[in-house]
Each structure stands twice: as structure tokens, then as C-alpha cells.
Structure 1
């Protein structure tokens, strides 16, 4: 027998053992690849869910901003109406004080009623209901 042939025969048990190790390594790699694919699918699902939440959050923020702007407009309208009402009531008060008891009650009541109606109309346009006792 030649030395090379003897070396091959001596290495045969190792070759069988190493071939089984390579098979196990290949199986492990395949298993790891499947496991990595599963992890990737879970990661992609999580990313898609996060993207949907971001889109929904953006839409909600825009809706809240629009609502806030509408509320600011209502507040501005009411502030203007309130300012006009105060000016009208101040004018009524000044008229009564300057003219004293000679101011006709009907003029005072008419001016008060007009001021109330203007204020109520502005509040109604802003979506606010004014309710006074006795009405």
C-alpha cells in the first residue's frame, strides 16, 4: 500500500464525522435562515403598524388643529360681540345719567333689547346658545 492510500483509509472515519458535521451545519444554517425570515416578517409587521399609527396621528393632529382654529374664531367673534354689548350698555347708562329721570323708559328698553338681540345673534352664529331666565 502506498502512503497516500494509507492516509486516505486512516482519514475515512474523520471524513464521515466531518461530513455529518457539515450536514448539521447546513441544517443549522437553514434553520437560522427560517428563524431570520420569521424575525424579518415580525419586524416588517411592526413597522407597518407604526406607519399606520403615524398616519393616523398626523390626521388626528390636523383635525385638532382645525378644531382649535375654529374655536379661536368663535372666541374672537364672541369677544367682538361682548365688546359691542358693553359699549351699548355703557351708552345706555351714560344716557340715563346725563338725562336723569327724563329719559323715556321705552327708549332704554328698546336700546337694551337691540343690544341683547345683536349679542344673541353673534353668539348663535358662533354656535353658542344664550339662555336668560324668564325667556
Structure 2
């Protein structure tokens, strides 16, 4: 079981799996604004494997083609995870909320056209200037394919 939680400890969660999921970094401006940093680091897991306990506040961001449902701690407002109508059945968990986040391996960088210029993406890590093709990205995160 993988565990994690918010910064104040009011929200705790578990992911029903033994191994740490593969993480990726997103450099888009939306993620930069959400994190207040250069990029966000996340893991994607099956929503059915994620169990969350604690005071969660939900924020829905609606655009023309999707609804992104964000879940934050109701006490400290740390972002925990989100779901998206374009990826039904999956949850995007903020990597920094995992108890063992220092053990994660970042296996991809997306939206690098918007990266902060001081950020260097390793040459041996797959990257995309914009959004990657969903099937290719999904296989990469699942460990089913090497670099593109």
C-alpha cells in the first residue's frame, strides 16, 4: 500500500498498489500557476485504487471540452488529486503528497515549450513540447514502452 497526505495531516490517502507509480513533470502555465513553481510533478493511478480520508474541498474547473475536478485539503488547502472527464477512471495525484515522494522517478516531461528556461530536461528522458499523444503517454507511464 502506498500512502500520502496533505501538509497539515488532516487528509490522508492510500493507493492500493505495492510499487510507487511512475511520475511525470508538467511545465504548462496552468500547472505553474497551480503550484506557484516551475512545474508540477504528478502520478496517474486508477481512481478505484485511491482511498481518501479527511476534509476534502472540491473545485470544478469547466472548459469547453472537459471538467477537471480538483480535490484539496479543507484545512491547509494543499492539492491532493484531480480527475478529468477526458480521462475517466483515473486520478492525477500530486507527487509531493506521497509519503515516499523522494523515491519517485520522473520518467517524462510535458509542455516543455513553456518550461522555465533555467530548467534543464535530461536528454535521456522523454519530453514533449506540448501534450503527448494519450496512448503513447499512457504506455510510458505504465512502463510498457521506452522513450519515444
Question: Normalising to structure 1: TM-score of the pair?
Answer: 0.16
Higher strand share: 2
Q: Which has the higher helix share?
A: 1
User: Larger Rg: 1 or 2?
Assistant: 1
Higher relative contact order (CA 8 A, sep 6+): 2
